[in-house]
Structure 1
Amino acid sequence: MSATSASDSRDAVAAALTTLESAVAGLRRTYGDTLGVRRLASDVSRIRDDLDELGDPQPGRLIPPDGPLETVPDTPYDPQMWVGAQDEGLGAPDRHAP
């Protein structure tokens, strides 16, 4: 993604947030200062802060992918692969948690 494209995306998110802030303000007028409305307002504010923290895109700052994605099959693993293995985080079979 180019810096211009990133800037366009950032601007689009900022515009959407402005619309969302307005919609949440409308909910506040309708529902009052309820927990749900406060949480929505807080979430929108947090997203705005995160967007502001990104700053302006800089050339070379974008991280390209390391390579093509690897597809992991949905077929079950061979049960023999697990023979003799311990369950990670559960400890050895001859011991138990206190």
Structure 2
Amino acid sequence: MMTAEMKDLHRNIGALRHHIETLKSLYGDVDAVRRMTNDLDRLEIDLHDFEHAPPPLRRTVNKDDVVYVPDSKSDEAAWLGAQDEGLGFHSRERTK
């Protein structure tokens, strides 16, 4: 399926290719022009891949899906007995 955004990308890639060819005619086959040509080729390949196997659309977030997490300090008692493994420090007495 070709969307308006993809059509714009194809048109812009064509315009960029034209401008890079102009640079190549002015400056020759220098490293910078070859890199830009390579980048543009990669962009064209990626767009082709995207068109033929698009990722799933992002799901919109409903207000009910959002969980509010307060910035206030949590109840330290809830963490008593928890292990500090992997944190690299011990901010409280170790559990037995």
**Shorter-chain TM-score category?**
0.5 to 0.7
| Alpha-carbon offset, residue 57 of structure 1 | 7.9
Give the total of aligned pairs: 68
RCO higher in 1 or 2 (8 Å CA, sep ≥ 6)?
1
Q: TM-score, normalised by structure 2?
A: 0.57
1:19 and 2:4 correspond = no
Q: TM-score, normalised by structure 1?
A: 0.56
The structure whose Rg is larger is 2
- Match for residue 63 of structure 1 among 53, 58, 63: 58
What code does the residue aligned with 1:86 have? G
| Alpha-carbon offset, residue 63 of structure 1 | 2.2
1:10 and 2:6 correspond = yes
Q: For each residue in 1:12-32, what CA deviation from the matched residue of structure 2 results, as whole angstroms up to 9, or x when unmatched?
A: 011000000000000000110
1:46 and 2:42 correspond = yes
Q: Is the 8 A contact 1:7 1:57 kept in 2?
A: no
Find the aligned partners of 2:53 and 2:35 in 1 and give their Cα distance.
30
Match of 1:33 in 2: 29
**Could you list the runs of 4 or more consecutive aligned residues of structure 1 that deviate by over 3 angstroms after TM superposition?**
65-70
Distance 1:11 1:57, change over 3 A: farther
What code does the residue aligned with 1:16 have? N
Find the aligned partners of 2:48 and 2:7 in 1 and give their Cα distance.
11
- Note the aligned Cα RMSD (angstroms): 3.0
Find the aligned partners of 1:44 and 1:52 in 2 and give their Cα distance.
12
> Which blocks of at least 5 consecutive residues in structure 1 are unaligned?
71-83, 88-98
The percent of aligned pairs where both chains have the same amino acid is 19
